[in-house]
Amino acid sequence: MRPTSMMIAFVCASAGVAHAQSFSNTLGDPGLTGSYTVGFEMHDDGSGESLFVTGQFGVPGTGTSNIARWDGSAWQPVGGGLMGQYSNAIKEFNGDLIAAGYFDSAGGVAGTEKLARWDGTQWHSMDAQSMSFLNSMWDLEVWDDGTTGEQLYIAGNYVALNGQIGLDHISKWDGSTYTPVGGTIGGAVPLIVLDLHVSDLTGSELLYAGGRFLTIGGNAALNIASWDGTSWSDLDGGLTRTSGFTQVLHMTTWDDGSGPALYVGGRFNIAGGSAVSTNVAKWDGTSWSSMGDGFDADVQELVVFDDGTGEALYAMGNFNNSGATPVSRIAKWNGSSWEPVGSGTNNTIFGGGVFDYGEGPALVMGGSFTQADGISSSKVASILGASCPADLTGDGNLDFFDVSAFLSAYNAMDPIADFTGDGLYDFFDVSAFLAAYNVGCP
């Protein structure tokens, strides 16, 4: 039972509700030209902490491509850019920014094919010797396995590094030397490691690898596995698909209140030998479980973000629906199902993360889109966290109009009035609303 409007009005006499998702096109107008963006990283290259982006794009007015830095008001080139096809990932390591992908050179510097290091002034070779057209790098991760300090882990479909045959698909670099990570991947599929992620689910950190493979380090592991610094382990049968090839595209860690778990997105519908929600699933360290109806196309990215109504998991990709619910390339998990985030984007979202580029912590997303929630935003957009949850009208003031907006949403059982996020409309939502209202706006 819900309290009556009169009851709420009385309780709220000096009291609005969490406003809808606030999209921003600060990064995307005019944004970037070309095909898409995919990877982001915060990094201080000597000019202050800035947001960097990589992908396959041009930086307007500069003649450079595939990597850029946000200076607070516009995208700027980075050392002449990454020349060639595309870049897939950027990662800070030992104070420098590492770029990985399928490019011919970084700023024209010799020996920087596919993998290069930016020191804030110039690009440097990492002596990867990746001239072969077969070599492509897809992800980077930094991890200390407890034995040798932090190292840079490199994933992809490369066939050799530093001239070493057999050092392929996944390896690590300590700043000078490349070494294997427990052997390589195998199987009668298009072999590739697409994503690396470090997670602690049971009190001990592990490195997770996902992609397209049937074995890793000589052990059976279907498209996903964990590395403890000594050996690779299967995740209860891994992930597969009833037809077509399977691929794991992205992993992240989140605690939904029941303990930390690994959330996996990609292209699959079987986990641990049983049917699971299409293209997204949860691994709790022991077993797999479904997440609602899943999605009708690939999940490219999973990000945990608090928009002001509480921390939640967001999925992004090239999907259009979750079951019967329209969700255009981005969706938010409400604990039992996936719900739309505004009107989404008009094309694929390939990557994202939570960064503060000057508008407060924001969910930054990149892809091939030109519109986000109906506004012009070329290849990059963001969702801002709500700094004043009770300001439903968005005018920066808390007054009668916010109370009125809350009452209307509450009586219509509009999700924006579900302050507790439990799917019910009751006294606890009113209480949460009052608490937010009384805190006020900054």
- pLDDT in the model for residue 414: 83
Q: Which of 107, 110, 67 is nearest to 91 (CA)?
A: 67
- pLDDT in the model for residue 183: 92
Residues facing residue 313 across a β-bridge: 304
Distances (CA, A) of 62 to 133, 160, 239, 287, 369: 28, 34, 43, 50, 21
Structure tokens at 242: 């009833």
In 3-state terms, what secondary structure has residue 181? coil
- pLDDT in the model for residue 387: 63
Q: Which helix (H) or strand (E) holds 430?
A: helix 427-439
Structure tokens at 401: 């109009």
> Rounded to an integer, what distance in angstroms lies between the CA atom of residue 241 and that of residue 269?
5
Q: Which residue has the tokens 């407890």?
A: 146
- pLDDT in the model for residue 436: 78
- pLDDT in the model for residue 9: 35
What count of other Cβ atoms lies within 10 Å of the Cβ of residue 46? Answer: 9
> Rounded to an integer, what distance in angstroms lies between the CA atom of residue 263 and that of residue 281?
6
pLDDT tens for 143-158 read 999 988 999 999 999 9
pLDDT tens for 109-165 read 999 999 999 999 999 999 999 888 889 999 999 999 998 899 999 999 998 999 888
343 φψ region: left (φ > 0), alpha (ψ -120 to 50), beta (else): alpha
Q: Which helix (H) or strand (E) holds 9?
A: helix 5-11
Instruction: Determine the longest span between alpha carbons in the chain, in angstroms.
Output: 76
In 3-state terms, what secondary structure has residue 428? helix
Name the stretches of the chain with pLDDT < 50. Answer: 1-20
Domains and CATH numbers, the chain: 1-19+397-442 (no CATH), 21-396 (2.130.10.10)
